[in-house]
Structure 1
Amino acid sequence: MKVLHVITGLAAGGAEVQLRLLLQHTRHDADVVALYNAGSVAEQLRADGVRVTDLGMRSNTQVGAVLRLARLVRRGRYDVVHTHLFRAGLYGRLAARLARVPVVVATEHSLLDDQLEGRPATRAVRTLYLAAERLGQRTVAVSAAVRDNLLRWGVAADRVVTVPNGLDVDALAFDPAARTAVRADLGIPADAQVVGGVGRLHPGKRFDLLLDALAPTLGPHRHLLVVGEGEQREALTALARDRGVAPWVHLPGERPVADHLSAMDVLASPSRYETFGLAVLEALANGLPVVYRRCPALDELGERVPGAHQATDDDLRPLVDEVLGRPAQPRLLPAELRRLDVRTVAARVDDVYESPSRGRRRGR
């Protein structure tokens, strides 16, 4: 089968990195279209041999972009269009319908409570979302929490299938050489404690709360390392300066996640709004202990994962202190996470494509 993935943008982020992982393990031929901002993940996909097209949209009112995308879909003779993120879901599903693509699938990465992609979901947004959803056959929810929200919004249960995000467990394994190299590059002493964070520098991730809570403990022997890029970089930099801890706060931007996880001693995830909690799972796969506020993926595993410690805002720092005060343990993959191996997850997504297509053939 030929599959076209349509995604809003390709800067580094959870949905974008997850798309790249899926394409590395799919059993189908796949191309990618970004509506705009074909950033670092686009470069990585091209290096993997994936054809990536940047539609170059400049605003959400470019109706002509739908027609250009529909022409691209017709020329490619795709069997499946798979959309990711809200804007791509609107434009991609409409273009797929215009091009008469037999199977249209969307993955919902970021619907939680009444937040969509970290912003309040207004009545107009919900109306658009539900109208676009009817143009496809299936919506993939990355967690049961996302599925529950889709059903609450009014999406029919038989149109939703839950497939979790995948982990490249081999690539995430702890690497002592990477630990040494990353610390040397950032100027972090080999014997210092490193509290880490991974994610977009966005208010919803609440890295400002983490920095503020840890500030009294930061110094030559304890550093904070947050891997990611985003709009809050300047605010976090200013906060570190105001608290007098700037020399021990590191914001290196978009960097290889596994290498930087290896450089950490504990990962802290203070975000209240997570649809899956990918950073928490990646850290656990690296053998790191984790202190976190919310991680639906862990809740849905149905068993306790060693090293995972759920916190409130009030005990975030005390739990970090407690974890760092314990004797170091071997950095091993918890057996409970093997079921999230990306090879298994990619096969389940491929099955989603084939199931509606078989149904359509029987109905002809």
Structure 2
Amino acid sequence: MTATDDKRVRNQETQPATRRLRIAVLIKTNSGGTWILPQVEAMRERGHEVVVVLPPGDGRLTTELRRRRFEVVESPFPFRPGPSMVAGLWRLRRLMRRLRPDVLQYHLIASAYVARLATVGLPLRRVHTVAGPLYLDSPFIRAAERLLWRMDDVIVCGCRNASERYAALGCPPRRRAVATYGVDTSAFDPTGTGPEERAAARAELGIPRDAFLAVMVAYVYPPKRLVHAGRGIKGHDVLLEAWGMFRRRHPRAHLLLVGGGWTAAGATYRAELVERFRVADDPTITWLETVPDVRPCYQAADVSVSPSLSESHGAAVEAGAMAVPSIVSDAGGLPETVDERSGWIVPRDDAAALAAALADAYDEFEAGTLASRGRAARQLMVDRFDNRRTARQVAGVCETVATPAGRR
């Protein structure tokens, strides 16, 4: 993003809406995707009417939107392969004609394909919001996006990396704003986390009080056919291999993994990892499938690890907001979440480099200097990743694209 574009985004964050808009938001899941909540709240706070189109059912996202009194409409498109897809596109088009939104915002690439096709020729503006650049790792999808991004009036990229990749596909700066999904820095706040709270969190998790604790918070996604074939994108296998190297020289260390399998296929892949790396036989590893609240895990931790093969910002922003420094891979937007004062960046899929970074973090833990990285990480999140600020940026983009000057 150029300096001019960055100034325009800051102006969009602070300028009031010029007129009330009707904004429709389409997403392919009714369970995940809770990161859209700050954005739709910001749209409503700025005076706009918001309707969210989701798959049928009472998923977590549907329930929370209705609790907050947003209008939720069931998507007639099935979001699964089958003969009903063509009819679903036609019914979705008919729904959009009935809703008559000024702006249609869509999240996740499957939603983008559906929204683009269903609304060809309709009098609305299209805002494609990119949660993560994983799909652009596929040569086939990149080739398709080289043409199809032109159907979007604006692409809101969740990280600078995604913006750079759309630039490589020919998308001009004015049509690829950057606004992260961010983190709620008021909810993820280390204030009040002292030695007693840390000790209590460790006791609840069964972690030794004096151990060096590395934490990885991520669902286990199953390998995908089109990208990183045969590998889970979150890099659990990379971390487990690195941990085997690291713990041989650092016995006073513990690894906490938090996250079960995403879908049945993810659960199967997780079970394969547990077996391959003999996790059940390693007393230095604790792997929890789910927790009611991840914040105590960060309260207990000394360092967070995000070894993804592809990612936007992931758990590094939550960890940073809780004043936990991070070791991240150089995949996607992860390098944007740390600087030289707050963490480490290692090459993706490099277990030896990850083990070395863990050793560096351990040395700082022993020296008593690791906490200063955590404080720097917290400040970085407040300055750049607070999701209330970035949600206002997204609302501002929707307002601008709906004006004559903001159209293509």
Question: TM-score surpassing 0.5?
Answer: yes
- The 5 Å alignment of 1:78-93 reads 78-93=101-116
Moved more, 130-139 or 34-43: 34-43
Structure 2: segments with no counterpart, 5+ residues: 1-20, 222-231
**Contact persistence 1:228–1:253 (CA under 8 A):** yes
Deviation at 1:106, TM superposition (A): 0.4
2:302 is the alignment partner of 1:265: yes
Residues of 1 paired with 2:82 and 2:132: CA distance?
19
Deviation at 1:352, TM superposition (A): 1.0
- Aligned position for 2:100: 77
Report the CA distance shift for 1:343/1:152 in structure 2 as closer, same or farther (over 3 A). same
Counterpart secondary structure, 2:119: helix
The one of 104, 111, 119 aligned to 1:96: 119
Aligned length: 351
Deviation at 1:171, TM superposition (A): 1.2
- The 5 Å alignment of 1:40-119 reads 40-55=60-75, 56-59=78-81, 62-97=85-120, 100-111=122-133, 115-116=134-135
Counterpart secondary structure, 1:323: helix
Instruction: Give per-residue Cα distances to partners, 1:60-119, cap 9 Å, x unaligned.
Output: 651111222223223333221101111100111233335x242211012333xxx517x6
Give aligned-pair identity as a percent. 24
**Contact persistence 2:306–2:327 (CA under 8 A):** yes
Deviation at 1:334, TM superposition (A): 3.2
The one of 196, 211, 223 aligned to 2:215: 196
Residues of 2 paired with 1:69 and 1:181: CA distance?
51
**Contact persistence 1:192–1:223 (CA under 8 A):** no
Moved more, 336-345 or 204-213: 336-345
- The 5 Å alignment of 1:117-156 reads 120-122=138-140, 125-126=141-142, 128-156=144-172
Deviation at 1:349, TM superposition (A): 0.9
Counterpart secondary structure, 2:360: helix
**Contact persistence 1:188–1:223 (CA under 8 A):** no
Deviation at 1:4, TM superposition (A): 1.4
The one of 238, 247, 272 aligned to 1:235: 272
Moved more, 21-30 or 81-90: 21-30
- Residue type matched to 2:371 in 1? Q
Instruction: Give per-residue Cα distances to partners, 1:216-269, cap 9 Å, x unaligned.
Output: 629786232233542132223323536722783213237534343223221111
- Aligned position for 2:10: none
Report the CA distance shift for 1:60/1:49 in structure 2 as closer, same or farther (over 3 A). farther
Residues of 2 paired with 1:3 and 1:228: CA distance?
34
- Residue type matched to 2:217 in 1? V
Residues of 2 paired with 1:246 and 1:63: CA distance?
53
2:35 is the alignment partner of 1:18: yes
- TM-score in terms of structure 2 length: 0.74
- The 5 Å alignment of 1:292-311 reads 292-294=328-330, 297=333, 299=335, 304=339, 306-311=341-346
Kindly indicate whether structure 1 or structure 2 has the higher relative contact order, using CA contacts under 8 Å at least 6 residues apart.
2
Residues of 2 paired with 1:155 and 1:362: CA distance?
15
Moved more, 36-45 or 307-316: 36-45
Residues of 1 paired with 2:50 and 2:23: CA distance?
5
**Contact persistence 2:400–2:406 (CA under 8 A):** no
**Contact persistence 1:229–1:253 (CA under 8 A):** no
- TM-score in terms of structure 1 length: 0.82
Counterpart secondary structure, 2:341: coil
The one of 188, 210, 225 aligned to 2:257: 225
2:238 is the alignment partner of 1:209: yes
Residues of 2 paired with 1:284 and 1:290: CA distance?
7
- Aligned position for 1:321: 359
Report the CA distance shift for 1:319/1:22 in structure 2 as closer, same or farther (over 3 A). same
Structure 1: segments with no counterpart, 5+ residues: none
Counterpart secondary structure, 2:371: coil
2:315 is the alignment partner of 1:283: no
Instruction: Give per-residue Cα distances to partners, 1:197-222, cap 9 Å, x unaligned.
Output: 12231311111221222146297862
